Structure 1
Amino acid sequence: MILDIYKDSLEYSAKDWKTLIILGVISIFSFLLLPAFLITGYNYRVINTAVHGIINGRDPMPEFDGIIDMFIDGVKIVVVQIVYLLVPVVIFLIFALVASQLIGVASTAIMLIGSLIAFVALVISCLMSQMGICHMAYNDGALSKAFAISEIKEVIDEIGWFECIITYVGLIIITVVLSLVVTTIIGLIFTVFGLSGFALGVDASGIFALGALINILITTFIVGPYLSIFNSRSIGLLYTTQI
């Protein structure tokens, strides 16, 4: 099942290269916040398509239109993520406050225990957050459904906590590996060109600079958006395994 999700998502994310370029262009201006919400909103559309689809189905890529609605969806996603993230943060701060009132071994022990509990809470919060977003999408975008804790827990219980964690770990690994592979291949190609230039007595600094620029452009306009859609699609399909 997990491998089917990955296969579907990898193929799905490459369906529309025009959309990848658009997302890449928008990502350049993410520091202005509005574009960042648009990207998040588009990824929500990918999740929404996935939770109403099936693994290895023929779901189309969402259209990049309805900017206002996309922005609102992006804001909703960020709100959900922040609220869930507050749980482990508050837990850590409480233990840090208690530890600051102690000294020596007791302080260190409290911080270690607090860090462990906060980490476990972070893992649980991330799972609840992602499944909450999927649950919201499945229920016509109702924000309250993203915080329907008992319902979301039932979803995760049905899928299996172990399966959810393994799926997310796999997503992290695939994301890192694909990013490294692409950047490494491009880097090696231009390194070979550069070294060849040096061997011929040519100043190859421009070749290395061009390689670095191309690496940045491909990462920004293709790899980044591709992996973003891949992760969103995978999360949405994981949710469907309990339906």
Structure 2
Amino acid sequence: MKFPFSNVGRAVGLLLLFLGSILIIPIILALGYIFRIIEHTINGSNELPPLGEWGNMFVDGIKYLVATAIYLIVPNILTFVLFKGMLASIYAGDSQISLLLVSVVGLIFVLPFDLVYIMALGNMVHEDRFEAAFDFSKIFELIGKMGWPKYALYIIVFAIIGFILGIISNLGTFMHISFGLGWAAGILISLLVQVYLVMYQGRYIGLICRKGNLMAKGDGEVEGNFEVEENKGTEAG
């Protein structure tokens, strides 16, 4: 969790990219920077990577965006179909049952995509090939070396922390409505938390993929606690 503060200047640079995210190019560059965070983490770095080489970062952002969009196709279609079914059930008077059913079925079908997607992103970054995001034999090998139950636990922790940070990022709007804070303050709070969230996500994905690759190479059981690895880098500096 300390990782986003490892270099405040670079974190501010990412914040500026998010401030310009109403435009296409800055948001793609921001995705490219997340790509770079994953890459540097896999390579053992414990500090935010430098900004620069904008052309390469833009290309990396495109790869990140396209891979994510492809992995979201099936879950989005499934969500749309389930939502339509839920609306039909609500009109028929079975709202509680339909909501529970949609939640359970959605979780069963969407969770496998999330499990594969996280390692797929890491594999794409590690091999520096877009096609590596769909090299399922390699992806499943990496997950298998870690153990599916342990890997699933990492993803659940990842999702829970991301969910909590997502709630916090919406506090800006809540504070504006409840306490009369200006829109600028509300937007700034949301952006700060969002920037922290994406840096955390990039770091976590990189650590998971690094662990999978180390175990696949036969380096034995590596640190299970990701925070331990971050603390090592802090002490070394």
Alignment of 1:214-229 (within 5 A): 214-220=185-191, 222-229=192-199
Q: Distance in 1 between matches of 2:76 and 2:160?
A: 25
Tell me which of 32, 41, 56 is aligned to 1:69: 56
* Residue 85 (str. 1) matches residue 72 (str. 2): yes
How far does the alpha carbon of each residue in 1:120-158 deviate from its partner, in whole angstroms, 9 at most, with x for none?
33211122122111111211x111111001110111122
Alignment of 1:37-116 (within 5 A): 37-53=28-44, 59-90=46-77
Q: Which residue of 2 aligns with 1:200?
A: none
TM value normalised by structure 1: 0.68
Q: Distance in 2 between matches of 1:172 and 1:110?
A: 24
Q: CA deviation at 1:90?
A: 4.6
Q: Which residue of 2 aligns with 1:36?
A: 27
Q: Distance in 2 between matches of 1:20 and 1:164?
A: 28
Is residue 169–residue 189 contact of structure 2 (8 Å, CA) maintained in 1?
Answer: no
Secondary structure of 2:5 counterpart: coil
Closer, same or farther: CA 177–118 of 1 in aligned 2, 3 Å: closer
Structure 1 range deviating more: 88-97 or 141-150: 88-97
* Residue 131 (str. 1) matches residue 103 (str. 2): no
Is residue 92–residue 115 contact of structure 1 (8 Å, CA) maintained in 2?
Answer: no
Q: CA deviation at 1:229?
A: 0.6
Is residue 169–residue 190 contact of structure 2 (8 Å, CA) maintained in 1?
Answer: no
Q: CA deviation at 1:209?
A: 2.7
Alignment of 1:189-200 (within 5 A): none
* Count of aligned pairs: 205
Is residue 169–residue 194 contact of structure 2 (8 Å, CA) maintained in 1?
Answer: no
Structure 1 range deviating more: 61-70 or 24-33: 24-33
Q: Distance in 1 between matches of 2:85 and 2:15?
A: 45
Q: Distance in 2 between matches of 1:232 and 1:165?
A: 17
Q: CA deviation at 1:225?
A: 1.2
Structure 1 range deviating more: 156-165 or 59-68: 156-165
Q: Which residue of 1 aligns with 2:207?
A: 237
Q: Which residue of 2 aligns with 1:7?
A: none
List runs of 5+ in structure 1 lacking aligned partners.
1-9, 192-204
Secondary structure of 1:122 counterpart: helix
Q: Distance in 2 between matches of 1:13 and 1:88?
A: 30
Q: Which residue of 2 aligns with 1:151?
A: 138
TM value normalised by structure 2: 0.70
Q: Which residue of 2 aligns with 1:197?
A: none
Q: Distance in 1 between matches of 2:98 and 2:132?
A: 35
How far does the alpha carbon of each residue in 1:168-191 deviate from its partner, in whole angstroms, 9 at most, with x for none?
33233334445639959xx6xxx9
What amino acid maps onto 1:35 in structure 2?
A: P
What amino acid maps onto 2:50 in structure 1?
A: E
Q: Distance in 1 between matches of 2:84 and 2:159?
A: 32
Identity %: 24
Q: Distance in 2 between matches of 1:226 and 1:237?
A: 16
Secondary structure of 2:168 counterpart: helix
List runs of 5+ in structure 2 lacking aligned partners.
87-91, 215-237
